[in-house]
Amino acid sequence: MALKIGDVQLKSNLIFAPIAGFSEVGFRHLCAKFGAGLTITELVSAKGLVYGNKGTEELLARTEIDSPSAVQLFGADPEFVFKAAKDERLKGFDIIDINMGCPVKKVFNNGEGSALMKNPSLITEIVQAAREGSGKPVTCKMRAGVEMGKPIAVECALAAEKGGASAVTIHPRYREQFYSGTADHSITRAVKEAVSIPVIANGDIVDKASLERVKQETGADGFMIARGALGRPYIFSELLEHPFEFDRYATILEHIEILRRHFPDLTVANIMKLHLCYYAKGETFAKQVRIAVGESKSLADIFDVVDKFFIEQ
């Protein structure tokens, strides 16, 4: 089933989540190739964009197949969000997503990420600023709330809708949980019943059975896959029941080739260290891969690991 966000028609209602360290251009390309209706960048600092911080532009890399796509901004100052959303470097993206879920201490203590949920009126201002700056549909990704057992997602989603958000994504874990425990999708259901814009459910979707369960529990319009896609970009075809072929070795080489178009080889090597552990997950050689990538110091070393463990597997 397709999903429309603002005036942007997605290819499917399955979305690849923004994950720091993983949602880089190469893996987004693969997820889009296997049927993700939307891919979203790693979180990008609004102030970093405005001030031209080193490394920010690398997060904005895209490929011809990675479309529709969204850029995820984080910030707590509407003025900086406005300026960032207006930045020419974001012109290629179809949607602006505002991060209201990051639990990391450095981000949270700066009043950004999931800390925004403590101030719904600021959420409204930030969404308005992003809309006015970009002229594009704006979405928000948020959590159940900040403190355990105190859900505020409905209030925050309504604030986002008031600011003109075109959709909201709910990851129903609390900031205090980080990524542990189970997602409470009764909270996602409550948001769905409260707002009139599309609601995207995120959390614990790893296969067809869990997708069907979350559909039943939430009545959501779209479904975001995060950790369930790592090492398995084909999960989107699997969930959509589209025929596909997955050659892990060839996919890894394609992943590296896309990255090399945008990053220096040492950066590519460091990115692939993370991904190779997931490509090997569940295999008898998974521990050996973890050890080997830990000892790798160059892209040549990474290619050696790929040839040793993944060829003809």
Q: What is the C-alpha to C-alpha distance for residues 138 and 9, in angstroms, rounded to an integer?
A: 14
Could you confirm whether 102 is annotated as catalytic? yes
The answer to whether the beta carbons of residues 24 and 61 sit under 8 Å apart is yes
171: helix, strand or coil:
strand
Matching residue, tokens 């911080």: 53
101: helix, strand or coil:
coil
Residue type, 176: E
Q: 31, 102, 140, 277: which is the annotated catalytic residue?
A: 102
| H or E stretch at 259 | helix 248-260
User: What are the start-end ranges of the H helices in 163-244?
Assistant: 185-194, 208-218, 235-240
Q: What is the C-alpha to C-alpha distance for residues 23 and 229, in angstroms, rounded to an integer?
A: 10
Matching residue, tokens 């059975």: 209
Catalytic positions: 102
